[in-house]
Structure 1
Amino acid sequence: MRGPLHRRRFLSGLAAASTLPLSGCFDPLVANDSQVRGVLASANDLTYRAQRLLLGSDDLAREFSPTEIRQPMRPNGSTNPQDEPYLALARQDFASYRLSITGAVQRPLSLSLVDLQAMPARSQITRHDCVEGWSCIAEWTGTPLGLVLDRAGVAPSARYVVFLCFDTLANGFAGPIRYYESIDLLDARHPQTILAYGMNGTALPVANGAPLRVRVERQLGYKMAKYVRAIVVTDSLVAYGEGKGGFWEDRGYDWFAGI
C-alpha cells in the first residue's frame, strides 16, 4: 500500500505546484506570454509525464463508501445556464436532448438520455477536487465514455476528445464564448471516465450540470465539463477556442490538471 500512496502524494504535489498560482483571479504573472506562465507550463508537462509513468492506464482514483458522503455536492462555475437552447431543453425536462458524437469517428452518433441510460452504467463515489482548494465526495452514475467511443468507432488518427457545452461564460468579438474542455484518449477510455446523468441516487441537478456532465476522476474539477451538448473526436485542439484545450486553459490554467 505504501507504493501507491506515495505515488499519489507525489502526483498531487506536482499538480498543486502547477496550479496554485491560478486558483483565484488571473493577473499578469500568469499571462500566456509571461515567464511564470512558461514555468507553470513546464510543471504541468512534468505532472502529465509523471502520471503516465507512475500510474497504469487503468489505475483507479480512490472510491469511497456511502457513509463518507457528508454534504451535498457543491455547485461551482455555471450553475444555471440562461442560453435559450438550454432553457428550451430544461423546460421539457431534457426529453428532446441529443448528444452528438462527431469528428474522427466512423459512425457519427446522436444519442438521447434514454439511449445513454440504456447502455451499461457505472456508479462511483469519488472526491471532486477543485483548483480553488475545496473538495466534496459524491456518487456519480453514468455511461462509460469508452463505450460511447467504441460505438462511434474512433479513427486511428484521433488523439483527443473535446466536450462542447451549452453554457456561455463570456462574450467575444465573434459572439458568445461557451465552455469547452478536452482530454486525451487514454483518459477518455479510463474505467472511471463517465458521462454522468445521476448524482447521489437522483437525476443530475441543473446546478451540477444536467442533463450530462463528464467525470474524469484523476483530474481537477475544471476538466469535468458540465451541460455537455456535443463530443468531437479529433487529432488536434487548434480549432477549438484559442487552441489550448479548454475555456480556462485559454485563460491560463494548465491543460492536464492531473492529481
Structure 2
Amino acid sequence: MNAKPPATILTRRALVGSLSLAAGGLLTGCDALTANQGWRDTLRLAETGNMALQRGLLGQDGLAREYSPRDISRSVPANGTRAPSDADYLRQAATGFSDWTLSIDGLVERPTRFALGQIRSMPRQTQITRHDCVEGWSAIGKWTGVNLAALLDAVKLRDSARYLVFHCADSLRAGPYYESIDLVDARHAQTMIAWALNDELLPIGNGAPLRLRVERQLGYKHAKYIRRIEAVADYRLSYGGGGGYWEDAAGYEWYAGI
C-alpha cells in the first residue's frame, strides 16, 4: 500500500507529533516528575487532548506517510530489549522459531493459536514508514506482515471487546513487556503484525519473529516478540493498569499519537 495523505494533513500530523515528542522527552528526562501523581494526572489530560486532536485532524482512517524505497534508512535501530532472556524464547530462536505460535483470545468467539508459518502464508501487506522513537530518533523501514484486522476477523471479536493487549516474550527491570491499543488503531489499514523488515525476516533485535506496527503512534507502542493478543473490555485491568510497560513504569502516555 502506497497511498499518502495530502500535504496539509501531513503538516498537521507533524504538529501533533512534535507535541507528543516534547511530552515524551520530559518523561524520559525527569524521574521526579514521572513519580509525581499530580504531574501524571496533568499528562493524562494532555493525552486525551492529543488523541482528540489527532483523530479530529486525520480522521480515524487517516494514513501515516509512506515513503519510497530510496528513503529507507541504512538501519532501523534495535531499541529496548535486543535479545529476550526468556528460556522458551531462546529455545525457539535456536530453531528459527519453527514452533512459534501467536494466540488470540480473551473476548473472542473463536480463540485461535496461529502457527508462525500460517501467519507468513496469509495475504501480506508491505509499507515503508517512519519509526519515531520517544528518545528523539527516527528511521524509515520497509515492513511486511499481515493486517491485524484480518486476524481479528478470523477470531471474531465479541461486542464487549474494546481494546487489545499484546503480551510479549521480553521482560525489563519492572516486569514483562506489554502494550495495548483500542480497536480504532487495531483495525487501521496500516496496523499489522510484522514478520519482515527490509525484505528479510525480522532480526531478533527488531522483534523476531512477530511485532506490532501501529504506524500512527510512537515507537514504544510497537510491541516486539508478541506471543499473545488478548481482547479485553478495559486495558486498565491488565498488569499495572496504565496500558503498557512504560506507561506503568514511567508514566508514558497510553495514547502516543503522532
For normalisation by structure 1, the TM-score amounts to 0.94
Contact 1:18 1:44 in 2 (8 A): no
Give the match for residue 195 of structure 1: 193
More helix by share: 2
Residue identity (%)? 48
| Change beyond 3 A, Cα 1:108–1:19 | same
Q: Within 2, Cα distance between the matches of 1:61 and 1:19?
A: 19
The equivalent residue for 1:155 is 158
2: CA distance, partners of 1:128 / 1:73: 8
- The residue number in structure 1 matching 2:252 is 253
- Report the alpha carbon displacement of residue 2 of structure 1 after superposing the two structures with TM: 4.9
Pairing of 1:102-117 with structure 2 (within 5 A): 102-117=105-120
List alignment gaps of at least 5 residues for structure 2: 1-5
Spell out the pairing of 1:131-150 with structure 2 (5 A cutoff).
Answer: 131-150=134-153
- Contact 1:145 / 1:195 at 8 angstroms: preserved in 2? yes
Q: Does 1:20 align with 2:25?
A: yes
Q: Which structure 1 residue ranges, 4+ long, deviate > 6 Å from structure 2?
A: none
Query: Could you tell me how far apart the structure 1 residues matched to 2:163 and 2:50 are?
Result: 18
Distance change (3 Å), C-alpha of 1:2 and 1:80: closer
Which of 224, 228, 231 is the aligned partner of 2:229? 231
User: Structure 1: any 5+ residue segments left out of the alignment?
Assistant: 172-176
- Secondary structure of the equivalent of 1:190? coil
Deviations 1:151-179, CA, capped at 9 Å, x for gaps? 000111111011000011125xxxxx210
Letter in 1 for 2:68: S
- Secondary structure of the corresponding residue to residue 143 of structure 1: strand
Counterpart among 32, 37, 40 of residue 37 in structure 1: 40
Aligned-pair Cα RMSD in Å: 1.3
Question: What is residue 209 of structure 2 aligned with on the other side?
Answer: 211
SS in 1 for 2:127: strand
SS in 2 for 1:96: coil
Judged with a 3 Å threshold, the aligned counterparts in structure 2 of structure 1 residues 31 and 3 are, in CA distance, closer, same or farther, namely same
Q: Please state whether the residue corresponding to 1:102 is helix, strand or coil.
A: strand
